[in-house]
Amino acid sequence: MSKMPDLIRNVPFDEITLGQTASLQRTLTWRDLELFALVSGDVNPMHLDPEFAATTRFHHLIAHGMWGGALISALLGTRLPGPGTIYLSQELKFLRPVSLGDTVTATVCVIELEPEHRRVVLDCRCTDQEGNEVIAGRALVIAPSEKLVREAPHLPEVTLVPEGPSHGAC
Amino acid sequence: MSKMPDLIRNVPFDEITLGQTASLQRTLTWRDLELFALVSGDVNPMHLDPEFAATTRFHHLIAHGMWGGALISALLGTRLPGPGTIYLSQELKFLRPVSLGDTVTATVCVIELEPEHRRVVLDCRCTDQEGNEVIAGRALVIAPSEKLVREAPHLPEVTLVPEGPSHGAC
Residue range B45-81, pLDDT digits in tens: 888 888 888 888 888 888 989 999 999 999 999 999 9
Residue A2's pLDDT band, with cuts at 50, 70 and 90, is: low
Mean pLDDT of A105-119: 97
CA distance A60 to A32: 15
Give the 3-state secondary structure of B62-96.
ECCHHHHHHHHHHHHHHCCCCCCCEEEEEEEEECC
pLDDT in tens, A48-82: 888 888 888 888 888 989 999 999 999 999 999 99
Is the pLDDT confidence value at B113 over 60? yes
In chain A, residues 138-157 whose CB comes closer than 8 Å to chain B: 150, 152-157
Q: Percent of chain A scored above 90 by pLDDT?
A: 60
Q: Residue A158 has what pLDDT?
A: 67
Note the pTM of the prediction, 2 decimals.
Answer: 0.89
Q: Do B37 and A167 touch (CB under 8 A)?
A: no
Q: Residue B52 has what pLDDT?
A: 84
More confident site: A111 or A43: A111
Is the pLDDT confidence value at B83 over 80? yes
A19 to chain B, closest Cα gap in Å: 23
Residues of chain B in contact with residue A35, where contact means CB-CB under 8 angstroms, are 35, 38-39, 158
Q: Residue B168 has what pLDDT?
A: 36
CA distance A60 to A4: 40
Mean pLDDT of A144-168: 70
Query: Which among B1, B10, B66, B95 is positioned nearest to A166, based on CA atoms?
Result: B1
Q: Percent of chain B scored above 70 by pLDDT?
A: 89
Mean pLDDT of A111-132: 97
CA distance A60 to A51: 8
Give residue B161's Cα distance to chain centre: 25
Residue B161's pLDDT band, with cuts at 50, 70 and 90, is: low
CA distance A93 to B73: 13
Q: Do A38 and B37 touch (CB under 8 A)?
A: no
Q: Are A38 and A105 in contact (CB under 8 A)?
A: no
In chain B, residues 65-104 whose CB comes closer than 8 Å to chain A: 65-67, 69-71, 73-74, 77-78, 82-94
Query: Which among A136, A81, A82 is positioned nearest to A104, based on CA atoms?
Result: A136
Q: Percent of chain A scored above 70 by pLDDT?
A: 89
Mean pLDDT of A9-21: 97
- Among A98-112, B90-104, B156-170, name the one with the lowest average pLDDT: B156-170
CA angle (B142, B150, A35) in 5-degree steps: 75
A93 to chain B, closest Cα gap in Å: 4
Residues of chain A in contact with residue B157, where contact means CB-CB under 8 angstroms, are 160-161, 163
CA distance B122 to B13: 13
Give the best residue of B44, B62, B76, B78 to mutate against chain A (max A CB count within 10 A).
B44
Q: Residue A167 has what pLDDT?
A: 39
Q: Residue B2 has what pLDDT?
A: 52
**Partners of A53 in the β-ladder:** none
Is the pLDDT confidence value at B165 over 80? no
* Pairs of residues, one from chain A and one from chain B, whose beta carbons lie less than 8 Å apart: 243
Mean pLDDT of B19-34: 93
What is residue B99's DSSP assignment? Answer: B
Q: Residue A162 has what pLDDT?
A: 62
Residue A42's pLDDT band, with cuts at 50, 70 and 90, is: confident
Is the pLDDT confidence value at B158 over 80? no
Residue of A nearest to B166 (CA): A2
